[in-house]
Structure 1
Amino acid sequence: MASLQRRNDKWQARVRRLGHTPRTKSFINRTDALRWIRQTEQELDRAALAYDPSSLERTTVADLLRRYVRDVTPGKRGHASEAKRIEVFLRYDWANLTLARITPQAFTRHRDKRLREVEAGTVIRELGLLRTVFEVARREWDVPLHANPLANVRKPKAASGRNRRLHADELTALLAACADSRNDWLEPGIRLAIETGMRRGELLNMRRADLDLANHLLSIPETKTDIPRTIPLSVNAVSILRSMQATGTDDRLLPVTANAFRLAWERCKHRAAKQMPGIADLRFHDLRHEAVSRFFELGLNVPEVAAISGHRDPRMLFRYTHLKPEDIVAKLRGLNARAAA
């Protein structure tokens, strides 16, 4: 259905079609308005001919998930973890529903169930992946869905950022536990994480060719943000890397898989917890948090810390920054003393 009205010295054309958002446009010339109406109606008619609602009865959510994990997931950096997540999706009852019967309520129930099992952050990532799968299907695979069933599913509120700092006695306990380990790479990995603020994946991807120890620099070609960076190294970090160069023969300085490193970390933490139970809730990523906080405590400013840590958004950087109040007090006293002098 089309309509044409004269309004404020212009012609306002409007085209309505069932299942589509009304389209409106204003013209100075009536002929142009009529031409636009005809073209818009033809475009919507072609879309209606291409739309085959019966295909929604023949296709299940599982079909979309399997195609996505086959065609899209392999090109992603985190393809392994995403493939496992989709494998879990396929076990749910809603994965067997056809696209004609899938509703936002199915994912609302999934959200509520998962919130009783895992943290809100995990649920947010799951909903985000599912929404992306449906969006790719709509935009790239010509699946005739009028709307994304995840579009209006409310995301749970994410928990506040962690503010876990590493205490000196906890580090001592961790390093002592490393001495009882059968490998010789976990201790330098832990110490280097604290000195550089590098993510676990970045540590595991370090190669000899990336080092410029004469100039205290380390290149990181592959990062979480897909933006390579070169970070300045402290004297301690250079010393650790030199020892790793001397003892290893592999091109990679930490020649282990992510899972092997994770398991070694958990075993090390378990041994340390026998002497210090509070260390049980420490995560390896908390060492990055500790490193960034230490950079600020050394007096580095936000751009300088971001150059080392790789954060692109200062708001995210501040989530990792929890300065010790007593250190700020000491700094204020020093400033006041200099002002008084």
Structure 2
Amino acid sequence: MASFQKLPSGNWRVLIRAKGHKSISATFSSEKLAKAFAKEKERQLEEIKATGRTAAPKGSTVAHYIDDYLNYIQHGRTLQRSALFIYKALKERFGKIGIERLSKSHLDSFIEARKKEGVQGQTIAGDLSLLSTILRYCYDVKHLDVDADMADKARKSLKSNHKLRIKSREVECVPTQSEIDAIIGVFATKKRQIINMPQLIRFGLFTSMRQSEICNIRIEDLDWENKTVVIRDRKHPNEKMGNNETVPLLPSAWTIVEEWVGTRTAGPIFPYNPKSVSVAFSRARDQSSVTRPVRFHDLRHKAITDFFGIGLNVPQVALMSGHRDWQTLKRYTHVKASDVHTAYNALNIKQQDAKHLSEQVDWLVQQMGEMRGAQA
């Protein structure tokens, strides 16, 4: 079924012919790789013969099946905007490639290109995961002759690449107060700055909201009596649309809201583009004395850390930050030995105060009893 030819260049070409299928041809740097490829393809062809797989129609591209998949699911579920954005990017990257011609080399090139763009491994893995969904759809639903596991294998291979970091950045970039002051100080020199970044930075520190949440909260969603605001479609690990949460605004945050709203009765409280906020923050950081890659999003990390520092418990902080997994919040606690002593001393003082108050109440009751006895 497979034939091999050594080329003048020293590479090896493999040609696979099977009845009812298009011929498959590929070139490799060694005979070993060519034979391994042929063995895998022959296995796939045997599986296709047993399961009734079919070849994709002539001219079918990756873009075609991305659109086909999105149409297929549109009545059953709603994708997040981030997923739709990734699918659009995948169409631009792989769209013109025939679905059956998509190969490991295409994915390797994609990974290398994304690395050069400075994209983290977690993001690349997410892109490949969505591409894997398309290939699995082609295999399971359309019964096409494709390698359904190709993108998934590429995604898993990232874990063995020590040069590519898979885990998202942890909270080691929790900004210090001096770093925040340095960044805010840069905006004092920007007379033409449209966005009031100092106030947005402070609001982020007082609420732990993401920049997208800050820019999307509306005046209509404020509860002026209870000092709360509704965050609509808040980020959620499973779904986002319809995930509305009412969160309290602490006094410092509420003061900023009152200043910004003024006499307005509707519209965004902070009418800015979230991307513009992020860019303005990063530019100011680069112009300041801050050397670490602090982002606007890192203000959220500091806010959560500060919430624990003032004594809020895990459920209370989770309500503020929107975290579903309380285990995730453990990394923000930053408990030190001195914190334990401080907490113990504070608790001891409260207990002593309670004991003293109890003694005072007992004494007062005793005095009132004696007074009643004397009057009788």
| TM-score when normalising by structure 2 | 0.65
- Judge conservation of contact 1:213–1:238 (CA < 8 Å) in 2: no
Q: CA deviation at 1:264?
A: 2.1
Alpha carbons of structure 1 residues 70 and 193: separation in structure 2 relative to 1, 3 Å: farther
Q: Rg bigger for which structure?
A: 2
1:266-321 deviations in whole A, cap 9, x for unaligned?
333234x1xx232x5111110111111111112222222111111111233334x1
1:314 corresponds to: 326
1:200 positional shift = 1.2
User: Which residue number corresponds to residue 311 of structure 2?
Assistant: 299
Of residues 237-246 and 101-110 in structure 1, the stretch that sits farther from structure 2 once superposed is 101-110
Match of 1:261 among 271, 277, 280: 277
Which residue in the other structure is 1:4 paired with?
Answer: none
Cα distance in 2, alignment partners of residues 263 and 71 from structure 1: 37
Q: For each residue in 1:228-257, what CA deviation from the matched residue of structure 2 results, as whole angstroms up to 9, or x when unmatched?
A: 111112110111111111286861112122
Equivalent in the alignment of 2:366? none
* 1:166/1:287 contact within 8 Å kept: yes
| 2:23 aligned partner | none
**CA shift digits 1:49-100 (9 cap, x unpaired):** xx43152x5323243346568887995322674366335524xxxx544333
RMSD of aligned C-alpha atoms?
3.6
Structure 1 counterpart SS, 2:283 = helix
Name the counterpart of 1:100.
100
Match of 1:61 in 2: 62
Cα separation, 2, equivalents of 1:117 and 1:260: 20
| Counterpart secondary structure, 2:148 | coil
Cα distance in 2 between the residues matched to 1:248 and 1:177: 30
- Check conservation: 2:56, 2:144, Cα contact below 8 A: no
Measured in 2, the distance between the counterparts of 1:285 and 1:215 equals: 27
Distance 1:20 1:84, change over 3 A: closer
Q: Distance in 2 between matches of 1:254 and 1:339?
A: 41
TM-score, normalising length from structure 1? 0.71
Q: Residues 327 and 86 (structure 1 numbering): CA distance in 2 closer, same or farther, change over 3 Å?
A: farther
- More off after superposition, 66-75 vs 172-181: 66-75
In the alignment, what sits opposite 1:189?
Answer: 200
2:290 maps to what in 1? Answer: 277
2:150 is paired with a residue whose SS is coil
Stretch deviating more after TM superposition (255-264 or 144-153) = 144-153
From 252, 275, 278, the equivalent of 2:268 is 252
How do 1:47-86 residues align onto structure 2 when only pairs under 5 Å count?
Answer: 48=52, 51-55=53-57, 58-65=59-66, 76-78=80-82, 81-82=85-86, 85-86=89-90
* In 1, Cα distance between equivalents of 2:189 and 2:265: 23
Instruction: Give the unaligned 5+ runs of structure 1.
Output: 1-16, 22-43
Secondary structure at the aligned position of 2:217 is classed as coil
Match of 1:122 in 2: 123
For residues 293 and 233 of structure 1, what CA distance do their matches in structure 2 show?
17
C-alpha distance 326-216 of structure 1, shift in aligned 2 (>3 A): farther
Distance in 2 (alpha carbons) for counterparts of 1:336 and 1:258: 42
Q: Compared with structure 1, are the counterparts of its residues 339 and 199 closer, same or farther at alpha carbon in structure 2 (3 Å cutoff)?
A: closer
Whether 2:244 is the aligned partner of 1:228: answer yes
How many residue pairs match? The answer is: 289
- Once the two structures are TM-superposed, the CA of residue 170 in structure 1 deviates from its matched residue by 1.9
* Mapped partners of 1:257, 1:184: distance in 2: 9
Deviations 1:19-58 (A, max 9, x none): 279xxxxxxxxxxxxxxxxxxxxxx8xx73xx43152x53
The Cα of 1:138 is off from its aligned counterpart by 4.1
2:219/2:265 contact within 8 Å kept: no
Separation (CA, whole Å) in 2 of partners of 1:253 and 1:141:
48
